[in-house]
Chains A and B, each alone.
Chain A
């Protein structure tokens, strides 16, 4: 099993360097968005967890003086603002594209995704011998996007409520503050579990998928994981050769 080989000018006498055909997957702006979300999210997690689990010795080492606690909180708040700005940009761009009627609907969940998930489950349980054919984004990637979309929404809203509780209780009932605190603290762990287990497996263990950083995805991955998209883009059959 191998990708389609193509001769290139780099083919040297007696030796052929195979360069895989790649397909554009993410724009520069999207890759920047991911990088900002990744870094600020990681900073938020690393500065948030020690505050949640304060009794652990590693948290105690990190939060060794009252000044350190203050510093960690300030870093957490700065990262929160960065991520919030990124979220505002992301939502703003969605709205802009929707108004311009140029929003690609590739990420919206469809019934096909439910069918794909069922199909995939049958494959994983050895009830089918082949994987389902996916489009531009498979259901795993859509789950990732929407899980993080709502997770960040919960984290952001609850986070700002517990950052400025007095402001928010000017017009919201007081009960939202302890509820936001619990949601913030719990959703953080849920999101961390999800990203570590689900997302990291899919992009680093199952295969090394760096398209979110390089912007492009190789032909082999396109055919295996996004066969329908491959067919749509090339007009060729995506089936294994």
Chain B
């Protein structure tokens, strides 16, 4: 082997090595490329990887201590090197300190507080939520972080988007099932539609508030307007983006906006979107089951106007601008006053102005020698 040959071999070796290294770097995901050493995870799972590992809590309730390697592998934390001890701070070695919790729920309610260490903003928000209030009122089943996000298997909550409704469905099954029949829910379930609202879009994410309060009620039109006044979005579905602006000028809308601005805590019955369109069961106007389908409209009006007769529905101009076809009486009244008002105003002003001028001139003339 000549020196020249040796150099050539070395060159190719280095080249091939570099190629393989670059290839492996580019193929592997960035996370695993920087995959930190799973020291504690491996160590803990040497016991907790046993499916039969269990203990009995003082209440007599059994508690599985098994942690699935698979669940950890797919969680957002483990892949970022956030391991067991990041949350289980009280455990440093074996034997572990004794668990002082009567029930599994009590344990969960104590352990979830560790989320605050990293997720303080969302944690705080959750403490102001309706769920936290329910817990304070004594309902220990009220959800905590881990009920929605999972504990060892925390994954992105909105992948896919419909997963959010699945999460809420754990407790709110009836409502979610209704929602899934609605125009919004059906589109979500059919093709993970990115535009329709999921639970959290209307109710909030961590600071979910009671939707039955007067504050929520008077703010509702704006909530719906978030999408329904968005011209680009509405165009995509052939819907009018003027529904909100027209509603705001309506009898109902004026009342509601006054209450929102001045007396948000005082209950007011003037109709908001959901009173007519439904809440979780909103359907397209064309849907025969829609509350605002022309065939069902009178029944919907009668919720608040029980003595209204069949002509009543025409008194509602809908979310439509004034037009000759839909609202002829309104159309002609508007047409009349568009010219009559300025005509009266200018006739009065000009006539009176001419009189003032003439009277002044006459007076001056009389006083001249």
Contacts and interface: CB of A to CB of B under 8 A. Distances in A.
Contacts of B361: 126
| Interface size grouping (class) on chain B | 35 or more
- For the complex of A and B, list the 3 residue pairs with the smallest distance between their C-beta atoms, beginning with the closest: A174-B314, A179-B329, A177-B315
A125 B312 CA distance: 53
A182 B330 contact: yes
Interface string A10-21: 000000000000
A125 B327 contact: no
B327 A169 contact: no
A139 to B, nearest CB: 11
B311 A169 contact: yes
Contacts of A124: 351, 354-355, 357-358
A22 B263 CA distance: 58
Contact of B337 (A123, A177, A183): A183
Given A179-B327, A182-B334, A193-B344, 12 more contacts: A54-B258, A124-B357, A126-B361, A166-B309, A173-B311, A178-B315, A179-B330, A179-B333, A183-B333, A190-B344, A190-B345, A201-B352
A82 to B, nearest CB: 25
Interface residues of A, number: 37
A186 B251 contact: no
Nearest to B348: A197
B341 interface: yes
Interface in A157-190: 165-166, 169-170, 172-179, 181-183, 186-187, 189-190
Contact of B352 (A63, A179, A198): A198
A197 B352 contact: yes
B149 to A, nearest CB: 43
B305 interface: yes
Contacts of B266: 66
Given A175-B315, A175-B330, A179-B330, A186 B309 contact: no
30 contacts: A66-B263, A66-B268, A124-B354, A124-B358, A126-B358, A165-B315, A166-B305, A166-B309, A169-B308, A169-B311, A169-B314, A169-B315, A173-B311, A173-B314, A174-B315, A175-B314, A175-B329, A178-B315, A178-B317, A179-B329, A179-B330, A181-B251, A182-B330, A182-B334, A186-B333, A189-B341, A193-B345, A197-B349, A198-B352, A201-B352
Interface secondary structure of B, over-half rule: helix
A194 B352 CA distance: 11
A165 B307 CA distance: 11
Given A166-B309, A172-B311, A193-B345, A178 B355 contact: no
A190 to B, nearest CB: 5
B349 A206 contact: no
Nearest to A125: B354
Which among A60, A169, A198 has the highest number of chain B CB atoms within 10 Å?
A169
Contacts of B101: none
Contacts, number: 99
A234 interface: no
B171 interface: no
Contacts of A166: 305, 307-309, 312
B313 interface: yes
Contacts of A187: 337
A201 B358 contact: no
B11 interface: no
A161 to B, nearest CB: 10
Contacts of A125: 354
Interface in B327-368: 327-330, 332-334, 337, 340-341, 344-345, 348-349, 351-352, 354-359, 361
A107 B338 CA distance: 29
B345 A182 contact: no
Which among B312, B313, B328 has the highest number of chain A CB atoms within 10 Å?
B312
A7 interface: no
A193 B344 CA distance: 8
Contacts of B315: 165, 169, 174-178
A100 B312 CA distance: 43
B254 interface: yes
A139 B250 CA distance: 40
Nearest to A131: B358
B66 interface: no
Interface in B55-74: none
A65 interface: yes
Contacts of B316: 174
B212 interface: no
Interface string B283-312: 000000000000000000000010111011
A116 to B, nearest CB: 13
B262 interface: yes
Nearest to B341: A190
A25 to B, nearest CB: 21
Contacts of B351: 124, 198
A168 B258 CA distance: 27
A194 B333 CA distance: 19
Contact of A190 (B258, B268, B307, B340): B340
A60 B262 CA distance: 9
